[in-house]
């Protein structure tokens, strides 16, 4: 198991035990994280799974590909550290990951 901490828009924190091999979005949905809606089910076609990756995790999480970058244009509160959580696969290397939910999530 890998632990991910979600920071909510009101600055609360929610620690989730994530299953490796599933996406961050799938793990968030299983844990009922509010603000991760995932309308498209992980097809990179809705941007309702938007998160901000903590600065010190950006290198390990990696950059969005072109398709994800284009879909992020439809999200709100997009920042340089924005990612779609359905495009992040959880692995042991991401144990301790911290992400924030955008304003309005
Ligand atoms: Fe739709 Fe991530 S779940 S883009």
pLDDT tens profile 19-28: 999 999 999 9
In ligand 1, the atom with minimum distance to the C-alpha of 85 is 2
Distance 22 CA to ligand 1 centre (A): 14
Distance 25 CA to ligand 1 centre (A): 8
Residue 105: pLDDT over 80? no
Neighbour-count burial of 57, counting CB atoms closer than 10 A to its CB (0-12 exposed, 13-18 middle, 19+ buried): middle
CA 91 to mean position of chain CA atoms = 14
Sheet holding 50-53, edge to edge: 13-18, 2-7, 97-100, 50-53, 82-84
From CA 26, how far away is CA 32, in angstroms rounded?
10
Q: What are the start-end ranges of the E strands in 28-72?
A: 50-53
The per-residue pLDDT for range 40-99, each reduced to its tens digit, is: 999 999 999 999 999 999 999 999 999 999 999 999 999 999 999 999 999 999 999 999
Q: Is the minimum distance from the CB of 47 to ligand 1 under 6 angstroms?
A: yes
Q: What is the DSSP letter of 32?
A: T
Phi/psi region, residue 57 (left: phi>0; alpha: psi -120 to 50; beta: rest), is alpha
In ligand 1, the atom with minimum distance to the C-alpha of 71 is 4
């Amino acid at each position: 198991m890998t632990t991910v901490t979600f920071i909510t828009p009101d600055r609360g924190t929610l620690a989730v035990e994530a299953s490796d091999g599933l996406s961050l979005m799938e793990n968030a949905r299983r844990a009922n994280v509010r603000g991760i809606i995932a309308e498209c089910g992980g097809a990179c076609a809705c941007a309702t799974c938007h998160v901000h990756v903590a600065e010190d995790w950006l290198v390990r999480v990696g950059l969005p590909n072109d398709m994800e970058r284009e879909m992020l244009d439809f999200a709100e509160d997009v920042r340089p550290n924005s990612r779609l959580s359905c495009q992040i696969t959880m692995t042991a290397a991401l144990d301790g990951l911290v992400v924030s939910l955008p304003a309005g999530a």
